[in-house]
Amino acid sequence: MKSSTRDNVEGKMHQAKGKINVRSIAERRKPMQSKKSKRQLLLILLLVGVGGAMLLTIGCATSGNLSTANIKVSESKKAISVAKESNAGAEKFAEFKKAEDKLLLAKAAIVDGEYLAATRLAEQATVDADYARIKSKAEKSKKEADQMLQDMLNMGQNADPISK
C-alpha cells in the first residue's frame, strides 16, 4: 500500500514538473495486468474443466445401461396395459399395434445388449400407447357428443308446438 502511494506521489511530482514519467506508469499497470490475465486464465481453465465434466457426465448417462432400459420397458408395458384397459377401442388403432411392436423390439434389444436402442424403443412404445389411448378417448367423446346432439334434435322434433 505504501509503495503504491509513493508511486502516486512520484507520478504527481513528475506531472507537476511538466514531465510524465511513462516508465513508472507502465510499471504500475504491469502488475495489475498480470493479475487480471491470471484471473482470466484461471476462469477459462475452470470453465473448460466444468464443461469437460458435464460432457463426460452426459456421455455416460446417454450411453445406455441395463437398468435404464429395464425401467423404460416396464413403463412401456404399463402404458400399453393402461391403453388396453381404459378403452377397448385402443386396440384398433395403428398406434397401439406400433407400441406393442416397439415393446417387442425393445425386449429383443436388451437381449442383444443394445441398451440404448432398447431404451429409445421403449420410450417410443410408451408414446405410441399414450397416443392410442388418447385417440380412442377422443373418438369415444366424439361419439357421445354426436349422440347427445342427435337426442336434442329428436327432442325438438317431438315437441308439440305451442298453440295459440
161 conformational bin, left if phi > 0, alpha if psi -120 to 50, beta if neither: beta
Q: Residue 100 corresponds to which amino acid?
A: E
Residues of the chain with pLDDT > 90, as a percent, come to 31
SS3 (DSSP) at 1 = coil
Give first-to-last CA distance, the chain, whole Å: 109
Output the pLDDT for position 117. Answer: 95
Q: pTM surpassing 0.75?
A: no
Residues 113 and 104: their CA atoms lie apart, in Å, by 14
pLDDT tens digits along 83-117: 888 775 566 788 889 999 999 999 999 999 999 99
Residues 104 and 110: their CA atoms lie apart, in Å, by 10
Question: What phi and psi, each to the nearest 5 degrees, are found at residue 18?
Answer: 95, 0
Give the 3-state secondary structure percentages of the chain, helix then strand then coil, rounded to 5: 90, 0, 10
Q: Residue 11 corresponds to which amino acid?
A: G
